[in-house]
Amino acid sequence: MQRIHNAIQLTGLTDEELFQLYGYPTGLDRPWVRANFVSSIDGAVTSDGLSGGLGTDADRRVFLALRELADVVLVGAGTARAENYGPAKTDPALRRRLHELGIGGHPEGTPPPIAVVTASAALDASGRLFPESPAAPAGTHSGAVPDSPGDPAAQTPGTQVSNQVAPLIITTAAAPAIRKRQLTDAGAEVIEAGDVAVSPQAVLDALAERGLTRVLCEGGPRLFGDLLAADCIDELCLTTAPVLIGGTAPRIALSREEFRVTMRPAHILLDEDATTLIRWVRT
């Protein structure tokens, strides 16, 4: 038996080394779609209905690093509701430096927008994701950034003081016009990416038109399954928490039909508590 990869001890990595390990390819001429999930050893994607219940310090550290690198955070409406998504929290100086390195970030340090996929546009326009909502966290417009899902702020590699950017709501032509208008009035940019169903390729085309090519998909399983089925996934960053859950929690990918995508490990990280983090890329 030949050993293919040696696990890298996460605790020995500097933040700079971590960003280099997860940096996006340079010179992208199309969207590069990275998915990020955490699961239990037995494949559960949630604990008590939330992915945050499986999170460890190692997972939170990588979660935040991936957001710092991304142009946009793509998420399904169900996950956004369940996890109570707010705007992404990032460090402006760090994002400028990552942009200079050519591996991610933003030239002006702007945080990545949250892009929510919902065929029906059935989102609460009064939620904290929307800058014009009464529920928008205090200080949002003056520079303070609200908590990310799971509140991993204490683990961030920098000082998170970014301004909120408008969320993108990706929906369909068939979605009720009144819902789309309410979301627009709440400060979102509403994008139609399909007639009745959202087309994964149309989603990526719309993001590319806005210069958002470094895509970070944070789930849920249905959106990830749709992207996989449409052959739109380039890599998967999978954290395995050192626990068994049981129960009826779904896997990380759900789809109507079975398909096969062959991948290889780009690297394997191991934390002191036995959390394993693998970056899988397409072969």
Query: Any idea where the domains of the chain sit in the sequence?
Result: 8-23+31-277
Q: What angle do CA 184, 86, 80 make, to 5 degrees?
A: 80
CA 59/CA 13 separation, integer angstroms:
14
CA 63 to chain centre: 8
pLDDT in tens, the chain (283 residues): 445 468 999 999 999 999 999 999 999 999 999 999 999 999 999 887 666 688 899 999 999 999 999 999 999 999 999 999 999 999 999 999 999 999 999 999 999 999 999 999 999 999 999 987 666 655 443 223 334 454 334 344 555 544 679 999 999 999 999 999 999 999 999 999 999 999 999 999 999 999 999 999 999 999 999 999 999 999 999 999 999 999 888 899 999 989 899 999 999 999 999 999 999 999 9
**Could you tell me if 144 and 137 are in contact, meaning their C-beta atoms sit under 8 angstroms apart?**
yes
Q: Are 236 and 262 in contact (CB under 8 A)?
A: no
Nearest Cα residue to 40 out of 232, 250, 268, 197: 250
Tally the C-alpha atoms within 13 A of residue 169's C-alpha that lie toward its C-beta.
28
Contacts of 152 (CB under 8 A, 6+ apart): 55, 60, 63, 64
**Nearest-angstrom CA–CA distance, 209 and 217:** 18
What span, in angstroms and rounded, lies between the C-alpha atoms of 140 and 126? Answer: 15
Q: What is the CATH number of domain 8-23+31-277?
A: 3.40.430.10
